[in-house]
Amino acid sequence: MLAILDADFVAKAEMLDWPVIGRLARRFNPVFVAREKRHGSATQVETIRARLLSGRSVILCPEGTTSDGTTIQPFRTSLFAAVDAAQVIQPLVLNYLAPDGTTLSAKRQREVAWIDDDDLVTGAARLASASILARVEFLPAVEALGDRKKLAKDLRQVMLAAYAAAPKRPE
């Protein structure tokens, strides 16, 4: 994402403790959030809002977790409270494809996914040995207006529709 967008990521704070990745992540100046600390969400929202007000774009992965990529998980909405500082919201979906541009099978999709407590080194090795393409699909921009929960629900529906329109995965 950073190769195509000049933006700040929202990243989980646990990354700070990851070998190599933690130091690398700091170089990109993400907004680190402690997802398990609900009482800290107001501070996290203010940090995101400050970035937006300073003119920076912020990349938020609203699922707050990873999956095998076959669908879009429910969105966590607490950080959407910073949306009042955004000029526009640019939803996008990311798909991993075979080198020829075809959709990955469920088995191949799992090879490139980090799910739940997948080990960092094992996952990185799987990904490094996989020959894949990443396709980023920019969906129509949305005005940053309204209730955060309704906005999240509407954005998720737009993204689910994009997934439904994508070619079906081989068996």
Q: Which of 163, 38, 166 is nearest to 102 (CA)?
A: 166
Write out the two tokens for 151: 């906005």
Sequence-distant (6+) residues with CB within 8 A of 32 are 11, 12, 13, 15, 16
Task: Measure CA 83 to chain center.
Answer: 16
Its pTM stands at 0.84
pLDDT tens per residue, the chain (171 residues)? 888 889 999 988 888 888 888 888 888 889 999 877 666 688 999 999 999 999 999 999 999 887 777 788 999 999 999 999 998 999 999 888 888 888 888 888 887 887 777 777 777 788 788 888 888 899 999 998 889 999 999 999 999 999 887 766 554
The torsion angle over the Cα atoms of residues 139, 47, 31 and 93, rounded to 10 degrees, is -10
DSSP 8-class letter at 101: S
The stretches of the chain forming alpha helices (DSSP H) are 21-27, 41-53, 106-112, 120-129, 148-165
3-state secondary structure of 96: strand
- For residue 52, CA distances in Å to 27, 29, 61, 66, 79 come to 19, 14, 16, 25, 13
The stretches of 14-147 forming alpha helices (DSSP H) are 21-27, 41-53, 106-112, 120-129
Write out the two tokens for 139: 């969906």
Q: Which amino acid is at 22?
A: G
Q: Which amino acid is at 132?
A: I
